[in-house]
Structure 1
Protein backbone atom coordinates (compact mmCIF):
# COMPACT_ATOMS: atom_id res chain seq x y z
CA UNK A 1 0.00 0.00 0.00
CA UNK A 2 1.46 3.34 -0.94
CA UNK A 3 1.22 6.46 1.18
CA UNK A 4 -1.09 8.06 -1.39
CA UNK A 5 -3.74 5.42 -0.61
CA UNK A 6 -3.81 6.22 3.13
CA UNK A 7 -6.57 8.88 3.03
CA UNK A 8 -8.85 6.56 1.09
CA UNK A 9 -8.13 3.84 3.65
CA UNK A 10 -8.99 6.24 6.46
CA UNK A 11 -12.35 7.04 4.86
CA UNK A 12 -12.92 3.40 4.08
CA UNK A 13 -12.21 2.45 7.69
CA UNK A 14 -14.88 4.90 8.83
CA UNK A 15 -12.52 6.98 10.96
CA UNK A 16 -13.34 10.32 9.37
CA UNK A 17 -16.83 11.57 9.95
CA UNK A 18 -18.74 12.61 6.83
CA UNK A 19 -15.91 11.71 4.46
CA UNK A 20 -17.32 12.14 0.99
CA UNK A 21 -14.59 12.60 -1.57
CA UNK A 22 -10.89 12.93 -2.26
CA UNK A 23 -8.90 15.74 -3.78
CA UNK A 24 -5.53 14.68 -5.19
CA UNK A 25 -5.69 11.61 -2.95
CA UNK A 26 -6.51 13.55 0.22
CA UNK A 27 -9.78 12.96 2.06
CA UNK A 28 -12.07 15.97 1.98
CA UNK A 29 -14.86 16.12 4.57
CA UNK A 30 -18.29 16.96 3.19
CA UNK A 31 -18.77 20.72 2.91
CA UNK A 32 -15.05 21.49 3.16
CA UNK A 33 -13.04 23.36 0.60
CA UNK A 34 -9.90 22.02 -1.08
CA UNK A 35 -7.64 19.94 1.14
CA UNK A 36 -4.93 22.01 2.79
CA UNK A 37 -1.65 20.87 4.28
CA UNK A 38 -0.88 21.68 7.88
CA UNK A 39 1.69 24.44 8.29
CA UNK A 40 3.96 22.80 10.84
CA UNK A 41 3.41 22.20 14.52
CA UNK A 42 -0.14 23.08 15.53
CA UNK A 43 -1.44 25.12 18.38
CA UNK A 44 -3.95 22.83 20.10
CA UNK A 45 -7.45 24.25 19.72
CA UNK A 46 -6.79 26.37 16.63
CA UNK A 47 -9.30 25.64 13.85
CA UNK A 48 -7.92 23.26 11.22
CA UNK A 49 -9.20 22.61 7.72
CA UNK A 50 -12.72 21.26 7.16
CA UNK A 51 -14.11 22.14 10.60
CA UNK A 52 -11.58 20.06 12.54
CA UNK A 53 -9.51 21.52 15.39
CA UNK A 54 -5.75 21.11 15.52
CA UNK A 55 -4.29 18.83 18.13
CA UNK A 56 -1.07 16.92 18.68
CA UNK A 57 -0.10 13.30 19.23
CA UNK A 58 3.01 11.50 20.43
CA UNK A 59 3.51 7.82 19.65
CA UNK A 60 5.61 5.21 21.41
CA UNK A 61 6.04 1.76 19.88
CA UNK A 62 7.62 -0.97 21.97
CA UNK A 63 8.58 1.72 24.50
CA UNK A 64 10.44 4.00 22.06
CA UNK A 65 9.38 7.09 20.08
CA UNK A 66 9.91 6.47 16.32
CA UNK A 67 11.60 9.27 14.33
CA UNK A 68 9.15 12.13 13.75
CA UNK A 69 6.54 10.72 16.13
CA UNK A 70 7.34 12.99 19.10
CA UNK A 71 4.90 15.73 17.99
CA UNK A 72 2.50 14.90 15.16
CA UNK A 73 0.03 17.54 13.93
CA UNK A 74 -3.49 16.07 14.17
CA UNK A 75 -6.96 17.10 12.97
CA UNK A 76 -9.43 16.46 15.78
CA UNK A 77 -13.18 16.30 15.35
CA UNK A 78 -14.91 16.58 18.70
CA UNK A 79 -18.70 16.14 18.79
CA UNK A 80 -21.48 14.29 20.59
CA UNK A 81 -19.22 12.66 23.17
CA UNK A 82 -16.64 11.40 20.73
CA UNK A 83 -13.26 12.35 19.26
CA UNK A 84 -11.96 11.32 15.86
CA UNK A 85 -8.32 12.25 15.23
CA UNK A 86 -6.19 11.76 12.13
CA UNK A 87 -2.96 13.29 10.82
CA UNK A 88 -3.42 16.93 9.76
CA UNK A 89 -1.30 16.30 6.67
CA UNK A 90 -1.67 12.57 5.94
CA UNK A 91 0.55 12.55 2.86
CA UNK A 92 3.47 14.06 4.76
CA UNK A 93 2.84 12.61 8.22
CA UNK A 94 5.66 10.62 9.79
CA UNK A 95 5.58 6.86 9.72
CA UNK A 96 3.41 5.47 12.52
CA UNK A 97 1.14 8.55 12.57
CA UNK A 98 -1.99 7.43 14.44
CA UNK A 99 -5.67 7.56 13.56
CA UNK A 100 -7.88 7.28 16.63
CA UNK A 101 -11.57 7.27 17.47
CA UNK A 102 -12.74 7.35 21.07
CA UNK A 103 -15.77 8.06 23.23
CA UNK A 104 -15.30 10.76 25.84
CA UNK A 105 -18.40 10.42 28.04
CA UNK A 106 -17.87 9.14 31.60
CA UNK A 107 -14.77 6.97 31.51
CA UNK A 108 -13.22 7.44 28.03
CA UNK A 109 -13.03 4.37 25.81
CA UNK A 110 -11.09 3.92 22.59
CA UNK A 111 -12.96 2.44 19.64
CA UNK A 112 -10.26 2.31 16.94
CA UNK A 113 -6.50 2.82 16.64
CA UNK A 114 -4.62 2.54 13.36
CA UNK A 115 -1.06 3.51 12.38
CA UNK A 116 0.23 4.26 8.90
CA UNK A 117 3.48 2.60 7.88
CA UNK A 118 5.48 2.90 4.67
CA UNK A 119 4.05 -0.35 3.36
CA UNK A 120 0.95 -1.59 5.13
CA UNK A 121 -0.92 -0.60 8.22
CA UNK A 122 -0.95 -1.55 11.90
CA UNK A 123 -4.39 -1.98 13.44
CA UNK A 124 -4.90 -1.76 17.17
CA UNK A 125 -6.02 -5.00 18.80
CA UNK A 126 -8.86 -4.53 21.32
CA UNK A 127 -9.05 -4.06 24.24
CA UNK A 128 -7.31 -0.72 24.66
CA UNK A 129 -6.44 1.09 27.87
CA UNK A 130 -7.65 4.70 27.78
CA UNK A 131 -6.88 7.27 30.48
CA UNK A 132 -6.98 11.04 30.84
CA UNK A 133 -3.79 12.81 31.89
CA UNK A 134 -4.40 16.55 32.21
CA UNK A 135 -5.72 17.65 28.81
CA UNK A 136 -4.53 14.52 26.98
CA UNK A 137 -5.89 11.06 26.31
CA UNK A 138 -3.34 8.30 26.83
CA UNK A 139 -4.23 5.20 24.82
CA UNK A 140 -2.23 2.01 25.03
CA UNK A 141 -2.43 -1.55 23.79
CA UNK A 142 -1.00 -3.69 21.02
CA UNK A 143 -1.21 -3.28 17.25
CA UNK A 144 -0.54 -5.84 14.56
CA UNK A 145 -0.33 -5.81 10.80
CA UNK A 146 2.08 -5.90 7.90
CA UNK A 147 5.21 -3.80 7.55
CA UNK A 148 8.52 -3.90 5.73
CA UNK A 149 10.01 -3.16 2.33
CA UNK A 150 8.41 -4.28 -0.92
CA UNK A 151 11.65 -3.48 -2.77
CA UNK A 152 13.62 -5.84 -0.54
CA UNK A 153 10.90 -8.48 -0.32
CA UNK A 154 10.73 -8.10 3.43
CA UNK A 155 7.00 -7.76 4.16
CA UNK A 156 6.37 -9.40 7.50
CA UNK A 157 3.63 -9.60 10.05
CA UNK A 158 4.44 -7.49 13.10
CA UNK A 159 2.97 -6.95 16.54
CA UNK A 160 3.97 -3.94 18.64
CA UNK A 161 2.94 -2.48 21.95
CA UNK A 162 1.93 1.17 21.63
CA UNK A 163 1.11 4.29 23.58
CA UNK A 164 -0.54 7.30 21.96
CA UNK A 165 -0.76 10.59 23.88
CA UNK A 166 -3.44 12.60 22.08
CA UNK A 167 -4.24 16.22 22.92
CA UNK A 168 -7.36 17.58 21.24
CA UNK A 169 -9.34 20.69 22.21
CA UNK A 170 -12.72 20.23 23.82
Structure 2
Protein backbone atom coordinates (compact mmCIF):
# COMPACT_ATOMS: atom_id res chain seq x y z
CA UNK A 1 0.00 0.00 0.00
CA UNK A 2 1.79 3.07 -1.26
CA UNK A 3 1.16 6.79 -0.96
CA UNK A 4 0.12 6.63 -4.62
CA UNK A 5 -2.48 3.92 -3.81
CA UNK A 6 -3.91 6.15 -1.07
CA UNK A 7 -3.88 9.25 -3.30
CA UNK A 8 -5.86 7.38 -5.97
CA UNK A 9 -8.32 6.09 -3.38
CA UNK A 10 -8.91 9.59 -2.01
CA UNK A 11 -9.38 11.02 -5.49
CA UNK A 12 -12.31 8.62 -5.87
CA UNK A 13 -13.61 9.20 -2.34
CA UNK A 14 -13.87 12.96 -2.90
CA UNK A 15 -16.09 12.51 -5.93
CA UNK A 16 -18.85 10.29 -4.53
CA UNK A 17 -21.49 9.89 -1.81
CA UNK A 18 -21.32 7.70 1.33
CA UNK A 19 -22.46 4.55 -0.50
CA UNK A 20 -19.86 5.10 -3.20
CA UNK A 21 -17.19 5.68 -0.56
CA UNK A 22 -18.15 2.39 1.10
CA UNK A 23 -17.79 0.52 -2.22
CA UNK A 24 -14.38 2.10 -2.86
CA UNK A 25 -13.16 1.22 0.64
CA UNK A 26 -14.30 -2.42 0.32
CA UNK A 27 -12.40 -2.68 -2.98
CA UNK A 28 -9.35 -1.05 -1.36
CA UNK A 29 -9.48 -3.46 1.61
CA UNK A 30 -9.78 -6.43 -0.75
CA UNK A 31 -6.90 -5.23 -2.93
CA UNK A 32 -4.64 -4.67 0.10
CA UNK A 33 -5.82 -7.57 2.28
CA UNK A 34 -2.28 -8.96 2.51
CA UNK A 35 -1.08 -5.73 4.17
CA UNK A 36 -4.19 -4.94 6.25
CA UNK A 37 -3.44 -7.52 8.92
CA UNK A 38 -2.43 -7.79 12.57
CA UNK A 39 1.19 -8.49 11.58
CA UNK A 40 1.39 -5.03 10.00
CA UNK A 41 -1.03 -3.31 12.42
CA UNK A 42 -0.70 -5.06 15.78
CA UNK A 43 -3.15 -4.88 18.62
CA UNK A 44 -2.32 -2.44 21.40
CA UNK A 45 -0.50 -3.82 24.42
CA UNK A 46 -2.06 -3.65 27.89
CA UNK A 47 -0.61 -0.18 28.62
CA UNK A 48 -2.01 1.23 25.35
CA UNK A 49 -5.61 0.22 26.07
CA UNK A 50 -7.99 -1.68 23.82
CA UNK A 51 -7.79 0.31 20.58
CA UNK A 52 -4.91 1.35 18.34
CA UNK A 53 -6.07 3.82 15.67
CA UNK A 54 -3.47 4.24 12.94
CA UNK A 55 -4.01 7.20 10.63
CA UNK A 56 -3.37 5.88 7.11
CA UNK A 57 -4.05 9.11 5.22
CA UNK A 58 -5.41 12.62 5.79
CA UNK A 59 -6.54 14.39 2.65
CA UNK A 60 -5.70 18.08 2.88
CA UNK A 61 -8.11 19.00 0.07
CA UNK A 62 -11.24 17.48 1.65
CA UNK A 63 -10.34 16.81 5.27
CA UNK A 64 -11.29 13.14 4.82
CA UNK A 65 -9.17 10.92 7.05
CA UNK A 66 -8.74 7.14 6.92
CA UNK A 67 -7.79 5.13 10.01
CA UNK A 68 -7.15 1.46 10.57
CA UNK A 69 -8.46 0.43 13.99
CA UNK A 70 -6.92 -2.62 15.67
CA UNK A 71 -9.28 -3.49 18.53
CA UNK A 72 -8.75 -6.05 21.28
CA UNK A 73 -11.40 -8.72 21.79
CA UNK A 74 -13.81 -7.75 24.55
CA UNK A 75 -13.45 -4.00 23.90
CA UNK A 76 -16.46 -1.78 24.51
CA UNK A 77 -16.73 1.95 23.88
CA UNK A 78 -18.91 4.52 25.57
CA UNK A 79 -21.94 5.71 23.65
CA UNK A 80 -20.65 8.69 21.66
CA UNK A 81 -21.27 10.91 18.66
CA UNK A 82 -19.07 12.30 15.91
CA UNK A 83 -19.00 15.77 14.41
CA UNK A 84 -18.64 14.11 10.99
CA UNK A 85 -20.05 11.29 8.90
CA UNK A 86 -18.17 7.98 8.91
CA UNK A 87 -17.83 4.84 6.81
CA UNK A 88 -16.71 1.67 8.58
CA UNK A 89 -15.44 -1.35 6.61
CA UNK A 90 -14.71 -4.69 8.23
CA UNK A 91 -11.30 -6.21 7.51
CA UNK A 92 -10.90 -8.94 10.17
CA UNK A 93 -13.03 -9.95 13.14
CA UNK A 94 -16.34 -8.35 14.02
CA UNK A 95 -17.14 -4.89 15.34
CA UNK A 96 -20.69 -4.62 16.66
CA UNK A 97 -22.11 -1.11 16.49
CA UNK A 98 -25.11 -0.21 18.60
CA UNK A 99 -26.90 2.74 17.02
CA UNK A 100 -28.98 5.15 19.09
CA UNK A 101 -31.60 7.75 18.24
CA UNK A 102 -31.89 10.88 20.30
CA UNK A 103 -35.47 11.12 21.62
CA UNK A 104 -35.34 14.49 23.40
CA UNK A 105 -35.29 17.88 21.76
CA UNK A 106 -32.81 19.57 24.07
CA UNK A 107 -30.52 20.59 21.24
CA UNK A 108 -26.87 19.86 20.47
CA UNK A 109 -25.48 21.93 23.36
CA UNK A 110 -27.53 20.41 26.19
CA UNK A 111 -25.69 18.60 28.97
CA UNK A 112 -28.19 15.70 28.90
CA UNK A 113 -29.53 13.50 26.10
CA UNK A 114 -32.21 10.85 26.03
CA UNK A 115 -31.26 8.02 23.69
CA UNK A 116 -33.08 4.95 22.43
CA UNK A 117 -31.31 1.91 20.98
CA UNK A 118 -32.43 1.59 17.35
CA UNK A 119 -30.43 -1.37 16.08
CA UNK A 120 -27.22 -3.34 16.23
CA UNK A 121 -25.03 -3.83 13.18
CA UNK A 122 -22.25 -6.42 13.05
CA UNK A 123 -19.46 -5.26 10.74
CA UNK A 124 -17.36 -8.24 9.65
CA UNK A 125 -14.93 -8.71 6.76
CA UNK A 126 -16.27 -6.91 3.67
CA UNK A 127 -19.26 -5.45 5.52
CA UNK A 128 -19.90 -1.72 5.71
CA UNK A 129 -21.68 0.69 8.01
CA UNK A 130 -22.51 4.29 7.12
CA UNK A 131 -22.88 6.73 10.02
CA UNK A 132 -24.42 10.15 9.54
CA UNK A 133 -22.98 13.15 11.37
CA UNK A 134 -24.31 13.47 14.92
CA UNK A 135 -25.51 9.88 15.23
CA UNK A 136 -24.80 8.24 18.58
CA UNK A 137 -23.26 4.78 18.64
CA UNK A 138 -21.11 2.43 20.70
CA UNK A 139 -18.64 -0.22 19.60
CA UNK A 140 -18.42 -3.76 21.00
CA UNK A 141 -15.95 -6.46 19.95
CA UNK A 142 -16.66 -10.08 20.96
CA UNK A 143 -14.30 -11.30 23.70
CA UNK A 144 -12.68 -14.12 21.77
CA UNK A 145 -11.78 -12.39 18.48
CA UNK A 146 -10.00 -9.05 17.91
CA UNK A 147 -11.10 -6.78 15.07
CA UNK A 148 -9.35 -4.82 12.36
CA UNK A 149 -11.52 -2.14 10.73
CA UNK A 150 -11.12 0.74 8.30
CA UNK A 151 -12.79 3.94 9.53
CA UNK A 152 -13.13 6.85 7.10
CA UNK A 153 -14.27 10.17 8.56
CA UNK A 154 -15.23 13.36 6.76
CA UNK A 155 -13.03 15.14 9.30
CA UNK A 156 -10.08 13.77 11.28
CA UNK A 157 -10.87 12.71 14.85
CA UNK A 158 -8.55 15.37 16.26
CA UNK A 159 -10.40 18.00 14.22
CA UNK A 160 -13.82 17.10 15.69
CA UNK A 161 -13.96 19.31 18.80
CA UNK A 162 -17.65 18.90 19.61
CA UNK A 163 -17.84 15.16 20.27
CA UNK A 164 -19.70 13.85 23.30
CA UNK A 165 -20.18 10.63 25.25
CA UNK A 166 -23.49 9.86 26.93
CA UNK A 167 -24.05 7.86 30.10
CA UNK A 168 -27.14 5.81 29.21
CA UNK A 169 -28.17 5.42 32.86
CA UNK A 170 -28.24 9.15 33.64
CA UNK A 171 -28.40 10.77 30.19
CA UNK A 172 -25.44 12.98 31.09
CA UNK A 173 -23.45 14.24 28.07
CA UNK A 174 -19.75 14.90 28.56
CA UNK A 175 -17.22 16.22 26.03
CA UNK A 176 -14.73 13.74 24.60
CA UNK A 177 -11.11 14.77 24.64
TM over 0.5: no
Richer in helix (by share): 2
Richer in strand (by share): 1
* Higher gyration radius (CA): 2
Name the TM-score, length of structure 1 as normaliser. Answer: 0.28
Higher relative contact order (CA 8 A, sep 6+): 2
